[in-house]
Amino acid sequence: MEHQTSRPLDDRVVIVTGAGSGIGRATAVARAEAGAHVLGVGRRRAALEETATMHPGIATLAVDVRLEQAPELIIGSAIDRWKQLDVLVNNAGASVRVSFDEVTRTRITDLFDLNVIAPTMLTQAALPHLRRSRGSVINISSTFGHRPQPGAAHYAATKAALEQLTRTWALELAKDGVRVNAIAPGPTESEALSVSGLPAEDVIRVKREQADQIPLGRRGEPGEVATWIVHFADPTATWLTGQVLTIDGGLELV
Ligand SMILES: NC(=O)c1ccc[n+]([C@@H]2O[C@H](COP(=O)([O-])OP(=O)(O)OC[C@H]3O[C@@H](n4cnc5c(N)ncnc54)[C@H](OP(=O)(O)O)[C@@H]3O)[C@@H](O)[C@H]2O)c1
């Protein structure tokens, strides 16, 4: 019960997209443990329900964040339940590993739709409530948002876009007291690689190569990223805005 001694997010309302697995699930649980009311969003109802069993403070909503009506549904669901919104974590995202020769317009468009346009529209819908609560937005980027990654150029480009949106929104929203920051994880245990289109044997190889490349000698665990997402949303982090914090075992340095 150690987490209950300091409940930095007590009674705050937090939306986490992509909460059915990986970093999003760990974030939903960490925030609920910190005392927040959490709305976990994703497409797979069963995955979200599994997340919800991990803490009674987690409610869920199954919706595809790319749908036009998704922002209204998601924000409306949090407001109907708790009448306020303090933190939006734009975590739902995907990577695509494909060579330049094989990349197609459809794949690029789909990737930008999920990683850039969906968080934009969701943040826009959240704004009136975040202005009222003087809340904050946390975008989940990647080390590869500012470090080139051969074979995943367009994934890296979506995360670079998200980092620049983070800095620009921070300036645009500063006058309203709304803070906007980003966390940029390095290779972390999650479903991301297995749903990226890589065959299972390649997933194992890539994981090994990544671990060898990371100065701390291993891939990260979702909880090691989630803990920083919680710090960024802490109501006492009142002077932090427009920042991108990389958490990657030192990968961006090499
Ligand atoms: N793991 C890494 O190595 C790593 C490194 C750097 C950055 N990141 C970033 O961290 C974030 C979380 O990824 P993760 O590693 O935790 O991978 P993950 O386990 O694949 O989680 C992604 C989550 O997003 C949800 N999602 C995907 N498309 C969605 C959609 N259209 N609408 C609603 N939800 C959707 C997925 O659930 P459903 O399929 O049920 O919708 C899934 O729960 C992503 O933005 C990723 O780019 C990950």
CA 25–ligand 1 middle distance (angstroms): 10
Q: Is 210 near ligand 1, meaning CB less than 6 Å away? A: no
Query: If you take atom 42 of ligand 1, which residue's CA is the nearest one?
Result: 18
Mutate to test the pocket of ligand 1, among 15, 16, 17, 21 (most ligand atoms within 8 A of CB): 21
Mean pLDDT across 148-166: 96
Mean pLDDT across 130-135: 97
Percent pLDDT > 70 in the chain is 96
CA 141–ligand 1 middle distance (angstroms): 11
Has residue 176 been placed in a domain? yes
Q: Is 94 near ligand 1, meaning CB less than 6 Å away? A: yes
pLDDT digits (tens, 9 = 90+) for 108-125: 999 999 999 999 999 999
pLDDT given at position 7: 54
Structure token digits, residue 51 = 């997340």
Q: How confident is the model at residue 195 (pLDDT cuts 50, 70, 90)?
A: confident
Question: Residue 55, Cα to own-chain centre: how many angstroms?
Answer: 19
- Domain carrying residue 86: 2-248
Mean pLDDT across 215-230: 97
CA 177–ligand 1 middle distance (angstroms): 28
Give the CATH number, domain containing residue 215: 3.40.50.720
Total of domains in the chain? 1
* 161-165, 230-234, 250-254: range with lowest mean pLDDT: 230-234
Q: Tell me the sheet residues that pair with 246.
A: 184
pLDDT given at position 8: 61
The C-alpha atoms of residue 152 and residue 156 are separated, in whole angstroms, by 6
pLDDT digits (tens, 9 = 90+) for 50-97: 999 999 999 999 999 999 999 999 999 999 999 999 999 999 999 988
Has residue 172 been placed in a domain? yes
* Torsion sign (Cα): 232, 235, 241, 242: positive
Has residue 229 been placed in a domain? yes
Percent pLDDT > 90 in the chain is 86
Is pLDDT above 90 for 139? yes
Average pLDDT, whole number, for the chain? 94
Contact 226, 26 (CB under 8 A): yes
Has residue 253 been placed in a domain? no
Has residue 241 been placed in a domain? yes
Is pLDDT above 90 for 176? yes
Is pLDDT above 90 for 103? yes
pLDDT given at position 194: 85
The C-alpha atoms of residue 207 and residue 193 are separated, in whole angstroms, by 9
Ligand 1 atom nearest to CA at 48: 40
Active site residue ranges:
155
The C-alpha atoms of residue 55 and residue 29 are separated, in whole angstroms, by 6
The C-alpha atoms of residue 162 and residue 141 are separated, in whole angstroms, by 6
Is pLDDT above 90 for 156? yes
CA 160–ligand 1 middle distance (angstroms): 16
Query: If you take atom 3 of ligand 1, which residue's CA is the nearest one?
Result: 187
Has residue 254 been placed in a domain? no
Number of Cβ within a 10 Å radius of residue 113:
13
